[in-house]
Structure 1
Amino acid sequence: MPRISANKLGEYLVTTSPTRRRRIILDQKQPSQAVVPLYRLADEPLAAFFAGGGDQTELDRAVVRLKSDTSGTTWAIDDRRRTAEALEAILGLAHKLPKDGIAYTPGQEHPPQLQIKGLNISVAPHFLLRFEHRGVPCVGALKFHYPKSADLALEQKGGEYVATLLHQWLTLHGPRNHKPMPSHCLSIDVFRGAVVAAPNASTRRMADIAAACEEIAAHWQQL
């Protein structure tokens, strides 16, 4: 079945280049089996950071450890360096994240996907945010976007699309008896320091998302 990640769908929705849109679809259809995801080493330090209430000591230690480790292949060394840079960037934007009364928990390892117009969308929040608002249990979600290249930036509009997908995912698959809050559905473009929340009004953005999904599904078989 045609598929795409939420961040790639966000990129697709904001790019004006037909060549770039085609490449996004092709990369999703024919991913390289040899590629190991970058920044996976950030998961454990970030979980400890949020569990510790935002104590930057956990991330500082991880940065030092990753930068000082020169073992393994050139790729492994570069991966650790990039991850350290990402953690430093997250420290620089941490003041923009909600803290008071928020419990951050890591997202599921194999979360359910959204299905829109014949397209499977992997939303996969990195963290869920649980809190109470006026006595009502609420939930939000957070997803990081790591690419450094300006060509892969989500920008404000792309971040809003991704955050809207997070809110939609919570509405369908979030914890029971918790109200999904758009204000706490956050798309974070790490190396640009952008933290974008889902807009309260999502009808137009969901229409844009549905149209893009239909377009991707239609082109899928042609590539």
Structure 2
Amino acid sequence: MNRIIPAAIADLEARRDNMANGPLVRDDASRCIDVINTFHRSANQLDLGNPDYREPRLPSPLMNVAGVDISVVPDAIVVDRRRAGDRVGQAFIRCTIGAAGNAADGRRAEANGHLATIAHMHARQYLGDLGEPHPQASMVIDVPRGIVVRGPTNSTRRIANIEAACAMIAAVWPMI
């Protein structure tokens, strides 16, 4: 991290300061610098454990849930080495700040939980060759809020809810 972060910030500063770039590119670079600095300051406080984080497999295969194809493109593959065998999952990094407030925070927490569950479902379908897919190896790292949301240990109910929602979408979709 001590080598990658300064190099990334230097590259982003060059983009931000290059007047040949448009205002959107310069603004995006500036925001990315803020997010990287926030992540760097909070990395030790985040409960990331000590797994190996690997580049995701791209292109990421579609996951079919109850007749609905879902595109799942994680930011990293997580391999947690254990005595009993490797646990595998996927990580998503959320960097958007979003609105603050109790209702917004509740919706974001719920969305993060669903995303962690979807990451586990995708890992279960496509990453078994790397180890045992485990719900808590899949996570959403919410950088602005400084939290890590892991897939629930007992994800049966949430998976059933996701499957039911997809079945309803599949049933209605042709009518739209």
Scaled to the shorter chain, the TM-score interval is 0.7 to 0.9
Distance 1:127 1:181 in 2: 15
- Equivalent residues in 2 for 1:1-223, closer than 5 Å: 55-69=1-15, 70-71=17-18, 72-95=21-44, 96-100=46-50, 102-150=51-99, 155-176=108-129, 178-218=131-171, 220-221=173-174
Alpha-carbon contact 1:189-1:195 (below 8 Å) kept: yes
Instruction: List alignment gaps of at least 5 residues for structure 1.
Output: 1-54
Secondary structure at 2:54's aligned position in 1?
strand
Distance in 2 of aligned mates of 1:181 and 1:107: 17
Per-residue deviation, residues 162-212 of structure 1 (Å, max 9, x unmatched): 111111111110041511122221112222222100001111111221232
Counterpart of 1:89, as a letter, is: T
Cα deviation, residue 222, structure 1 = 5.7
Q: Which runs of 4+ in 1 moved over 6 A?
A: none
> How far did 1:61 drift?
3.5
Q: Is the 8 A contact 1:104 1:128 kept in 2?
A: yes
- Between 1:157-166 and 1:145-154, the stretch displaced more is 145-154
Aligned residues: 168
Q: Which sections of structure 2, spanning at least 5 residues, go unmatched?
A: none
In structure 2, distance between residues paired with 1:90 and 1:169: 26
